[in-house]
Amino acid sequence: MCGRYASARKRHDLLEEFEVELDSAEELEPDYNVAPTKEVYAVLSRVPKVEGATRPVRQLRVLRWGLVPSWAKDPSIGSKMINARVETVADKPAFRRAFASRRCLLPADGYYEWMPTEQKRKQPYFIHRADGDVLAMAGLYEFWKDPEDDWLVTCTVITTTAEDELGHIHDRTPMLIQRDRWSQWLDPRFPDPKELLVPATGRGLVATPVSTAVNNVRNNGPELIEAVEAPLDL
C-alpha cells in the first residue's frame, strides 16, 4: 500500500511542471510526512464551469487524501479508502465511477514503505527518483455533499504489484504515470480507461533507508528523507 509520502514542492513549481492551465489551489506548506486525511495537491482535468467552456482544462487543486464515495453516509469512510488496487479499481463500487472519468495525478517527491527486519521491527525506506524528478502517482478523485450542501473533494492513490527491485521492501507500490501518458490519464473522455492501467515500473527509482522518526505523523521536515545507515539484519 501507499500510506505515507512526501510532497514538498512549491505550488508554482507544480504549475510549471504539470503545465497547469487553471490554478485553483491554495498554497500548502511543504509536507515530508503526508498521511491519510491530510490535504494534498492533485492535478486533474475538468471542463470549467464558465460560459462557453467545452473542453477539459488541466487544473491544480487541493484535495483531502482518503476517497469518500458520493453515496457514502458520512466522510469517515475516507480513512479506509486511501488506496485503490489496480486489479479491482475499474469494477469496485467505491471507485468505478471515479475511475471512468475522474482520474488525477498526485505529485510526490517520494513515498515511504516499511521493510520487516529479523528483530521484529520495521525499517522505513524513502523511495524516490534517482534524478530527483517528481513522481506522478495515479489517483482518483470524488465529490461528496454533506447535509449542509457543502462539497468535500477527496482522492485515493492507485497501487499495483511492486517489481523485484522494490518488491523486497513491500509487495505493493503506487502506480506511477510516465510523463508522456499524463494527458491520456487525465482525459475524462478517454474511451477505455482500462487501457491506461499499466504494470509497475521501478526504473529510475531508488530506496533510501531513513529514520524511524517518520513513523510518527507529528514529525515533519526534510530530515525525514535523509539517508541513515541500514540495519545489518535486513
What angle (nearest 5°) sits at the alpha carbon of residue 11, between those of residues 183 and 38? 90
Mean pLDDT of 56-83: 95
Query: Roughly how many angstroms between the first and final C-alpha of the chain, as a whole number?
Result: 20
Coil, strand or helix at 180: helix
Model pLDDT, residue 232:
46
Instruction: Give me the active site residues, please.
Output: 2, 113
- Distance between CA atoms of 232 and 59, rounded to whole angstroms? 46
**What predicted TM-score, i.e. pTM, was given to this entire model?**
0.94
Q: Which grid cell sits at 64?
A: 483531502
Vertex 62: Cα angle to 89 and 106 (nearest 5) = 45
CATH superfamily of the domain spanning 5-111+132-203: SOS response associated peptidase-like (3.90.1680.10)
State mean pLDDT over 37-61.
Answer: 91
Rounded average pLDDT over 5-28: 95
- For residues 125-143, give the mean pLDDT: 96
Q: How far apart are CA 173 and CA 43, in angstroms?
A: 20
